[in-house]
Amino acid sequence: MGEITVSVQDMHHLLHDPASTYGAPYQRAYAELAATHRGRPVAEIVPLLRAAADRALLGFTGADLVEQAQAISGGEPYELRVRVIGP
């Protein structure tokens, strides 16, 4: 399980918010990779996740990205603990 801290103002960087004009939420990129990269090597998925995290301005650790890639590759759920900090 991974963990990330996100400010209230930046939650739309992580989770899709239909009210937001932000175009690169990480949730969308993760879901797309999960749908298209099941069974692919972890080493192939990690750089794609890193690029998505960078576009979303999120600071996932390398270990978190490897865990996420393993879940995608294996077709398994991934649990992410999100800590939201106030204004």
58-83 confidence digits (pLDDT tens):
999 999 999 999 999 999 999 999 99
Choice between 23 and 6, residue whose per-residue pLDDT is larger = 6
Contact between 73 and 38 under an 8 Å Cβ cutoff? The reply is yes
**What predicted TM-score, i.e. pTM, was given to this entire model?**
0.90
Task: Check whether 87 has a pLDDT greater than 80.
Answer: no
CB 4 within 8 A of CB 68: no
Chain segment 33-59, per-residue pLDDT in tens: 999 999 999 999 999 999 999 999 999
Which amino acid is residue 26, in one-letter code?
Y
At 19, give phi and psi (nearest 5°): -80, -10
What pLDDT score was predicted for residue 1? 79
Would you say the C-alpha torsion 48, 54, 57, 60 has a positive or negative sign?
Answer: positive
Q: Which single residue is written with the structure tokens 């999960």?
A: 34
